[in-house]
Chains A and B, each alone.
Chain A
Amino acid sequence: MWWMIAFSVLGALALLYVDGRRNEAAVWRDWELLLTPRGERAYREVEERVQDELAVADLTLKQALAARRLGSTAEALELLDAGYEMIEGFAPDMRALLAHMSAFSRMVAAMAPLPPLRPGDFRLTDLVRLAWLSRALHHFLVSTAERFRLRVYVLRRGFQVATHYLLSSRRRLDLQPAGEAPWQGVQDAHSDLHALSNASLESFRTLLASLAAEPRPQVAFQLPDRWPL
């Protein structure tokens, strides 16, 4: 009997702790965002911002590759750093957005189905493995909402893996600036960041479409702080 009581007491303490940390005003703000036309605007804002930031990161990568071809390795590395700084800020925002999507997807009863991530869309070995794993797990999950949350979790991990890979490639370039493999790694990570961003936007669109299909208020979402509406 005592183990049961101990389990309940610990559970109650954990619940009260989490409840004490909750910001009620922030919860109301989330619902306000959902229940007003701000949801649609939010999607457009996010899409625009993601595309803009990726376009700038692509441009710096292209210029870095061009500079490298012309033999100016130092300039190429400087341009690469500029692109990396941008991604360094962009990836955590995407991870935060995905975390919020996962939390709010719990409220969507009529979640629209989404296909699992395609391993063929990725170049980095770790991401390909992650996509295969998520594809396998996808079939074990029963509800569409659970599958959605798995997808969002894998995307979050994906951003982590891709940015980590980008950073390690950049470090390797310091040691061997003319090496082919690190440059290829940078290009692969960029390509995978594109794939991850597109999959994230697709998930976001699905979440919003599910909200619109709900007959009653079901969900709220919150954008990362750096994307205020």
Chain B
Amino acid sequence: MTGIQWFSLIATILLLSLLLAGLLLRRGWKDSPAFGLYIGVVLASNLLVLARPELYTWRFYLLGEVTHAALRLVLAGEIGWRMFAHLPGARATLTAGLLLVVTLTLGAVLLAPLGAQPHVVAQTALARLLHGTAWVFGALLAAKLYYRIPVHPLHQAILRGFVPFLMTFTVALGLLETFGWDVRLPASYAYTTAYLALLAYWNLVAWRPPPLPDVPPDVLRRLQPWRKM
């Protein structure tokens, strides 16, 4: 690993640890257990690389990214459920939309040249998976706006954070696929910057106590029954 890669790894671990602490201490994990789990798993995989640098390989990277992508989809499902579980009309439309996006993503991933070198798989199949995941979060964000659903600040931050970050990730991988290793450095810097910015933003939200909306308790109970008052 180069010096910048070490710096990026340590900064990531610090921000992830701070975020996990914020979720635990501010009880944010109760509003989204899947997010707590996702952050925990990402932190663990980064700590593994820090403890055993020989794990810094394409294979381990791919395994980690596929696990993270699966957890992101679980997280999207959880946020979708918390936002729309009590709104059957919107839920039905959203479910159909998400099913379409997931099916298209799966199709695109399966059509990628699997069985090739790990870095080729990362550039093609992983890019498609990330692109599809960005669409899932984008669909949730769009549905929230279309149906005028009030959202918990942490869920809002997750949606707002993932959409641009996953797009940046997709663009970075797309650059690698199109222009080859010549653009590895700019692509890597763009990705690292976006990731650190995302973690910093989530930290801000996780450490800030979520304000309770100024509505009667009945209204809050009917729209967000899972939320503690």
A residues contacting B by CB (< 8 A) are: 1-2, 4-5, 8-9, 11-12, 15-16, 18-19, 22, 24-25, 27-32, 35-36, 103-104, 106-110, 216-218, 220
Contacts and interface: CB of A to CB of B under 8 A. Distances in A.
A106 B222 contact: no
A8 B138 CA distance: 9
Given A109-B88, A217-B223, A218-B89, A25 B148 contact: no
Interface string B145-175: 1111111000010001001100100110010
Nearest to A217: B222
B213 A30 contact: no
B216 A36 contact: yes
Nearest to B153: A24
Contacts, number: 98
Shortest Cβ-Cβ A-B pairs, 4 listed = A109-B89, A28-B213, A32-B215, A35-B219
Given A25-B213, A104-B148, A109-B88, A9 B171 contact: yes
27 contacts: A1-B174, A1-B178, A8-B138, A8-B167, A9-B167, A9-B171, A12-B163, A12-B164, A15-B163, A16-B164, A19-B144, A27-B148, A27-B149, A28-B150, A30-B148, A32-B215, A32-B216, A35-B218, A35-B222, A36-B218, A107-B90, A107-B148, A109-B88, A109-B92, A216-B86, A216-B222, A217-B223
A107 B156 CA distance: 20
Contact of A220 (B131, B135, B148, B178): B148
Given A1-B174, A109-B89, A218-B87, A103 B134 contact: no
B21 interface: no
Contact of A15 (B90, B138, B223): B138
B142 interface: yes
A5 B89 contact: no
Nearest to B222: A217
B134 A12 contact: yes
A8 B141 contact: no
Contacts of B213: 24-25, 28
B156 to A, nearest CB: 8
Interface string B197-208: 000000000000
B142 A216 contact: no
Indicate the member of B87, B89, B134, B218 with the most A CB atoms within 10 Å: B89
A31 B215 contact: yes
Nearest to B131: A8
Contacts of A24: 150-151, 156, 213
A35 B146 CA distance: 19
Contacts of A8: 131, 134-135, 138, 167, 170
Contact of B86 (A2, A11, A15, A217): A217
A90 B92 CA distance: 38
Contacts of B131: 4-5, 8
A12 B167 contact: yes
